[in-house]
Amino acid sequence: MKGVFRARGLVDGLGWGKALISKSPISFLEGVDPKQGKIIDKSHELFGLSIDGKVLIFPYSVGSSVGAYVLYKLKENGKAPSAIINLKSDNVIVSGCAIAKIPLVDMVEGLSLIRKGDFLMVNGSNGSVIIY
């Protein structure tokens, strides 16, 4: 184990997987395909990459509140991230993760220490992130 970091737990549950990190916000309505679980926004730094089973790290979401429904559809289709970490979560992400039962935390101490591909466990219930 490399470290345990405190966070603000927003949606209960445990999620683990490899970190997929974006410095840019994500629009779930127009930027993510809920059937394939891939970033489809051609201008996004993660274009073409799968979010399925990853711990998806990004600053916040942009776009319509319908993005929350896209998170639900991702989960329903078995293509959702295992957990989400934000710098600061917004209503779209919180509500989408809540209905899809995707663990969510934000305001992680030590977030800058996480690298793409690190194996993480996110605990939305107690507000912690573990890097393995």
24 vs 5: CA distance, rounded Å? 22
* Predicted pLDDT at 27: 97
pLDDT block averages, 10 residues each, the chain of length 132: 94 98 96 98 98 98 94 98 97 97 97 96 98 96
* Predicted pLDDT at 2: 85
Where are the alpha helices (H) located in the chain, listed in sequence order? 28-31, 67-76, 91-100
Q: What is the CATH number of domain 3-131?
A: 3.50.30.10
* Predicted pLDDT at 1: 78
- Going by C-alpha positions, the residue among 78, 84, 81 that lies closest to residue 108 is 84
Among 64, 65, 112, 125, the active-site one is 64
Domain regions of the chain by residue span: 3-131
What's the pTM value of the predicted model, to 2 decimals?
0.97
121 vs 123: CA distance, rounded Å? 7
Let me know if 64 is a catalytic residue.
yes
